[in-house]
Copies of this chain bind each other. A is one copy, B any other.
Amino acid sequence: MTSSRRDFLKKAALLSAGAILLPNNLLATKSSKKQSRRTNSKKMSLTFRPYDLRLNHTFTIASYSRTTTPVVLVEIAYDGLVGYGEASLPQYLGETQTSVCDFLKKVDLSQFSSPFLLEDILTYVDAIAPKNTAAKASIDIALHDLVGKITGQPIYRLLGLNPDKTPATSFTIGIDTQDIVRQKTLEAKPYSILKVKVGRDTDKMLIETIRSITDKPLYVDANQGWKDRQEALDKIFWLKEQGVVLVEQPMAKTDLESHAWLTERSPLPIIADESVQRLTDIQPLVGAFSGINIKLMKCTGLREAWKMIQVARANKLDIMLGCMTETSCAISAAAQLSPAIDWADLDGNLLIGNDCFDGVKVVDGKIKLSDRSGIGATKR
């Protein structure tokens, strides 16, 4: 990679980073002259725009609360087709709409002859700057969508996976008052597994409130919220009695020793979330966790996620597939991998009021993949 390539400003990406357009005004309006010129080209052309997701409920986890989630929506046009991608930017990941747009402006896809060159393109994109994993994932998702559309196949099919083997997805209930937790539990009726965010002093109240309404299996995510390993272990034993089936990231992400101690003693699988971002993070975690939570926005997208699945399996690690608050674009992309994993937590699109994509569905609690090409998402 030459530095001149890295510094090249993507001329087609003209939107200023602060602009917010309405969903229906996406750049790729089919009737526009610009669009037809752009999409009929055998060069790839990248466009993107910020978009703010409105959450149905204020979302609280161990460390903070929020009511919206910023995302950046991406399109890559090639040979009359358009691939969709998305970067989701919860604040704790350290990316913003501005940082994503700044990153995307540096991406020059015109140097590559085809979207099929995934290994080369994504290696180039990854080398543009460190981190920026959500921005990188937005490119990865749009390229996979294009590859699927060119071949006329869904991504799960190109990966050799059986769409009937999707797992159920959990539906997340954040930290909240007893009344809201009760209300959310009732709203979660269509879902067969609930994921509960814990890590504050209300943990027992939360679980007991849910248990007063339903006996569905629960995933518990502590988001590094527990500080004492013996206390964490005691809680985990209690949680098992409450019908919890796994615990995510009980303690600080760098404290592998405590996690190894817990994993050795825990009656439930201990899953790394904040402790694992990318492929190279997996090997050091072996022994400290029972499994890992893979999220496209952490790991730069589908290609690296697929590699992580192979490496996790080789190390006998269980695999959870998670998400951020995202539209049905990024959720549908992640769902393509779901027949290959153990537990899915792909509810990000179910928690928002202004999803601008139609994609993967949840039917009887289970992820339902469609026959649509690519990531299986269309614009609403």
A→B interface (CB under 8 Å)? 116-120, 122, 147, 151-153, 157-158, 160-162, 165, 279-280, 282-283, 303, 307, 310-311, 313-315, 339-340
Contacts and interface: CB of A to CB of B under 8 A. Distances in A.
A160 B117 contact: yes
Count of chain copies: 2
A122 B315 CA distance: 20
Given A118-B160, A119-B161, A147-B160, 13 more contacts: A116-B157, A116-B158, A116-B160, A117-B160, A117-B162, A120-B162, A151-B151, A151-B152, A151-B158, A160-B303, A280-B314, A282-B314, A310-B311
Contacts of A339: 119
A280 B118 CA distance: 27
A309 B340 CA distance: 18
Contacts of A161: 117, 119
A340 B153 CA distance: 24
Contacts of A153: 116, 151
A315 B165 CA distance: 30
A303 B117 CA distance: 19
Contacts of A122: 160
Choose among A153, A283, A310 the residue with the greatest number of B CB atoms under 10 Å from its CB: A310
A280 B161 CA distance: 21
A121 to B, nearest CB: 8
